[in-house]
Amino acid sequence: MKIHSPQISISDVKVTSLKQNHAEEGVLTVAQAQEHVPFTVERVFFIKPSDIGTERGNHAHRTLSQFMICIQGEIDVIVDDSKSKKIFKLTNSSEGLLVPPDIFCWQKYVTKDAILMVLCDKPFLESDYIRDYNQYVSYIDSKAKILESDVIRLNLGCGGRPLTGYINVDMDSLDQIRERYPNRKYDNSIVVVDYDLFNLPFADNSVEEIRSEALIEHLPFIDEPKFFNEVTRVLKPGGTLFLTTVDFEKICEKWLQSEDNWIDFYRDDKEAILSEHWFGTNSYKANNRWGYLTATFYGSQNGAGQFHTNCYSEGKFRAICKRLNLTVEKIEKFQWQGDRDHMIALTAIKPMI
């Protein structure tokens, strides 16, 4: 039996009434984050057409949500989920229209005095756009095949390691991952989605396998139980949980054994990255105290999400599994790429009911 698909559709495009206060001096309209706008606003822009009938938009977003408000005049907003279309007529500032990711959208400015204000939950990023409609349909079809599969496999926090046949969950889209890792090749069939790790859109006991490599060390301690409880919730009985993270015990041991050989301040500019300057050691090998070993403690810190805020050991893994009633199948230790991070890998099974 297939679970309910979390695929976005026309039904997810919604009109919200905004709060208005009328007084002799005029009208005050409020669009407050979370209360009216279902996200924290990161970017705002306005559009005024050059003439009646001007059309704009004609694109979809992979991860970005928009909340549109017609400040004045009249605007038709046309939305398309690749299967059906719908027109929303915006005629006043008392309403806002939520357009989530994966919806192809364009606007027709019915009156010349029309002004559209758009609130976004992310900054501008060109790679988040799908501007060609045929490419959009292909993207949605590929995503639907994975999401509607009888066997659901999740790859949480995939980073530069998205996998075919999995729902890869990450804050970056596939195009953004390609930009971040230009030397790697990624198949176009790979599906990457931006889901809330603590509120996955899957039913209880519905996921066959959950993988998460080098993610959990980035989660603050306050979020740790949210993550483990959520993956346990969606994992089906007999399903597999596979986690890798930094082997904190081994790193402490290696750091204390290494020479105290600090050389230079940290740099993450392009020249420094190309020369492997990084922490001043000009090496990615984990054989000196102030280079890769330090980064293993604190993260590379060269972008959002690149900070380490948690730590794990074999004992902690076993204790967490015991608390969650997961059966430890095996725990392995290895070095990433052979000479870098000392890692620990957990394979656990959710017992049959």
- Domain regions of the chain by residue span: 10-130, 196-349
Proportion of the chain above pLDDT 70, given as a percent: 98
Quick check: 344 and 244 in contact, CB under 8 A? yes
**Tell me: the pLDDT tens digits for 135-183?**
899 888 877 777 677 789 999 999 899 998 899 999 888 888 888 788 8
Q: Give the per-residue pLDDT at 172.
A: 83
Above 50 in pLDDT, residue 3?
no
Average pLDDT over residues 311-328: 97
Architecture of domain 10-130: Sandwich (2.60)
Quick check: 304 and 215 in contact, CB under 8 A? no
Quick check: 333 and 247 in contact, CB under 8 A? yes
Count Cα atoms within 13 angstroms, Cβ side, for 43: 10
Give the predicted TM-score (pTM) of the model.
0.68
Q: Give the per-residue pLDDT at 94.
A: 84
Above 80 in pLDDT, residue 278?
no
The two structure tokens encoding residue 235: 């994992």
The three state secondary structure string of 295-335 is HHHHCCCCCCCCCCCCCECHHHHHHHHHHHCCEEEEEEEEE
Q: How far apart are the first and last CA of the chain?
A: 18
Among residues 121, 83, 96, 75, which one has the least CA distance to residue 18? 96
Rounded CA-CA distance 144/339 in Å is 39
Query: For domain 196-349, is the CATH number 3.40.50.10860?
Result: no
Q: In what order do the strands lie in the sheet with 153-156?
A: 191-193, 167-169, 153-156, 207-213, 235-246, 342-349, 327-335
Q: What is the rounded radius of gyration, in angstroms, for the C-alpha atoms of the chain?
A: 24
**Tell me: the pLDDT tens digits for 7-51?**
788 889 999 888 878 777 777 877 777 778 888 899 999 999 888
**Tell me: the pLDDT tens digits for 336-351?**
888 788 999 999 999 9
Above 80 in pLDDT, residue 227?
yes
Rounded CA-CA distance 299/283 in Å is 16
Q: Give the per-residue pLDDT at 248.
A: 96
Above 70 in pLDDT, residue 6?
no
**Tell me: the pLDDT tens digits for 111-121?**
999 999 999 98
Cβ density class 251-289: b for 16+ within 10 Å, e for less: beebbeebeeeeeeeeeeeeebeeeebbbbbeeeebebb
Domains 10-130 and 196-349 share a fold: no
Q: Give the per-residue pLDDT at 35.
A: 79
Average pLDDT of the residues of the chain: 88
**Tell me: the pLDDT tens digits for 83-137?**
999 999 999 888 999 999 999 999 999 999 999 999 998 889 887 889 999 989 9
Indicate left, alpha or beta for 73 from its phi (over 0: left) and psi (-120 to 50: alpha).
left
The two structure tokens encoding residue 193: 């989605």
**Count of beta carbons in the 10 Å neighbourhood of residue 123:** 9
Above 50 in pLDDT, residue 1?
no
Above 50 in pLDDT, residue 243?
yes
Rounded CA-CA distance 290/266 in Å is 10
Among residues 205, 61, 86, which one has the least CA distance to residue 136? 61
Above 90 in pLDDT, residue 323?
yes
Rounded CA-CA distance 16/239 in Å is 40
Q: How far is CA 112 from CA 89, 97, 296, in A?
A: 15, 20, 57
Quick check: 139 and 192 in contact, CB under 8 A? no
